Amino acid sequence: MNFALPALPYAYDALEPYVDATTMNIHHTKHHQTYVSNINKVLDGPHGSALKGLSLAAIQANIPSLPESIRTPVINSGGGHYNHAMFWTLMAKPGSANVTPMGSVKAKIDGDFGSFDQMKTQFNAAAAARFGSGWAWLSVGSDGKLFISSTANQENPLMKGVVAQSGTPILGLDVWEHAYYLKYQNRRPEYIAAFWNVVNWDQVAVNYDSATAGNTAVFDTPVA
């Protein structure tokens, strides 16, 4: 039993003009597919039994307990699959979802950061400052507070014992060059600013409510 590339919840051109269709197609069918193929190779390998029966989210949370020989490929490929599969759900066609936070997640953002704009400023700074490839995240910590972090490569906040600050991610942004270079070239801050036009705040609200209900796997993908 293996993982499979999930279908996008929208057409490749749905996020235009903020994310171009060519980038979305390559990002999904080439980059994400590679992560899926490579984590499946780990599953089929000599130490793949350590992953059997674990969902994708559970794999992220159990990396320190895995055999040392597969930890790095699991972080790179399992993390890549998880991060991208979640990322697609965090975006929506402009105008098809709430364009700003609503309800309990809005109240929490205002309470923990002072305002939505102040949260955006911190998030943008984390995304822009990530050296090389990685991600920016908005997560719920073990203390119930929201925090912003940046992780390298395909690491994510679920990876306790791997990342500096662990928690349950509810919003994330891919800042690898393959996510934006065709349209924005080296203008990462412009790409980051454009991202806010396609954030699916309805989904972020669902993720937040799930996280605060004690579900650390607000997004998950089972072994196919």
Query: Mind listing the pLDDT tens digit for each residue in 50-76?
Result: 998 889 999 999 999 999 999 999 999
In the numeric block, which tokens belong to residue 204? Answer: 């972020």
CB 126 within 8 A of CB 132: no
Same domain? 109 vs 179: yes
178 is in an annotated binding site: yes
In the numeric block, which tokens belong to residue 22? Answer: 């060519």
**DSSP labels for 171-222?**
EEEE-SGGGTHHHHTT-HHHHHHHHTTTB-HHHHHHHHHHHHTT-S-SS---
Residue where a domain terminates, one of 49, 64, 89: 89
CATH code for position 32: 1.10.287.990
CATH code for position 179: 3.55.40.20
**Type of residue numbered 163:** V
31 is in an annotated binding site: no
8 located within any domain: no
What is the 8-class DSSP label of residue 160? B
Same domain? 80 vs 134: no
Residue where a domain terminates, one of 47, 63, 89: 89
Residue where a domain terminates, one of 43, 66, 89: 89
Mean pLDDT value across the chain = 94
In the numeric block, which tokens belong to residue 178? Answer: 């393959």
- Is pLDDT above 70 for 3? yes
Name the least confident of 20-29, 116-125, 154-163, 208-217: 208-217
Evaluate if pTM is beyond 0.75.
Answer: yes
45 burial class (0-12, 13-18, 19+ CB within 10 angstroms)?
Answer: middle
The rounded radius of gyration (Å) of the Cα atoms in the chain is 17
84 is in an annotated binding site: yes
Q: Give the total number of structural domains in the chain.
A: 2
43 located within any domain: yes
Neighbours of 170 (CB within 10 A): 27
- Is pLDDT above 60 for 224? no
Dihedral angle computed from the Cα positions of residues 58, 63, 69 and 74, in that order, rounded to the nearest 10 degrees: 60
Same domain? 39 vs 112: no
In the numeric block, which tokens belong to residue 1? Answer: 């039993």
Same domain? 134 vs 195: yes
Q: Which domain holds residue 122?
A: 103-212
